[in-house]
């Protein structure tokens, strides 16, 4: 999948490429939110590859004690913005994300 220079720059700034190089299959980025409708369940922005090997963006939940993807779609800057806004809409800010990336 060919990405624009802007998309590549943003993914690099977020640390997505490095995380995939380290062998991670589900890359969690950004702040953690607690769902408003389901207290105790946390969600984060997530990047992963689908069955066809495409880079996807969406969000993951820690429901069940382990982070699992909930919803995703092929990556685009539009999809990234959508999921960033969606997490703010469905969740309450809990903590900042991992600063090491």
Residues 13-37 have a mean pLDDT of 96
Tell whether the model's pLDDT for residue 15 goes beyond 80: yes
In a domain, 100, yes or no: no
What's the domain range around 78? 5-12+25-95
Q: Examine residue 101 and state whether it is found in any structural domain, yes or no.
A: no
Which alpha helices (DSSP H) does the chain contain, by range? 5-14, 16-21, 77-90
* 4 vs 2 pLDDT, higher one: 4
Split into its structural domains, the chain has a count of 1
In a domain, 31, yes or no: yes
**Continuous H helices in 22-75:** none
Q: Is the pLDDT of residue 41 over 60?
A: yes
Q: Is residue 17 part of a domain?
A: no
Answer yes or no: is 80 within a domain: yes
| 24 has a pLDDT exceeding 60 | yes
| pTM: predicted TM-score of the whole model, two decimal places | 0.90
Q: Is the dihedral of CA 65, 53, 55, 82 positive or negative?
A: negative
46 within a domain of the structure (yes/no) = yes
Say if 90 falls within a structural domain: yes
Q: Is the pLDDT of residue 100 over 70?
A: no
pLDDT score, position 101: 41
**Segment 61-99, tens digit of pLDDT:** 999 889 999 999 999 999 999 999 999 999 999 988 764
């Amino acid at each position: 999948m060919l990405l624009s220079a802007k998309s590549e720059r943003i993914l690099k700034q977020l640390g997505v490429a490095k995380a995939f190089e380290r062998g991670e299959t589900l890359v969690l980025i950004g702040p953690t939110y607690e769902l408003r409708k389901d207290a105790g369940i946390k969600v984060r922005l997530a990047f992963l590859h689908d069955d066809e090997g495409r880079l996807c963006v969406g969000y993951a939940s820690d429901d069940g004690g382990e982070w699992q993807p909930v919803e995703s779609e092929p990556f685009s800057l539009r999809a990234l913005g959508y999921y960033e806004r969606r997490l703010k809409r469905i969740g309450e800010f809990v903590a900042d994300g991992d600063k090491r990336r």
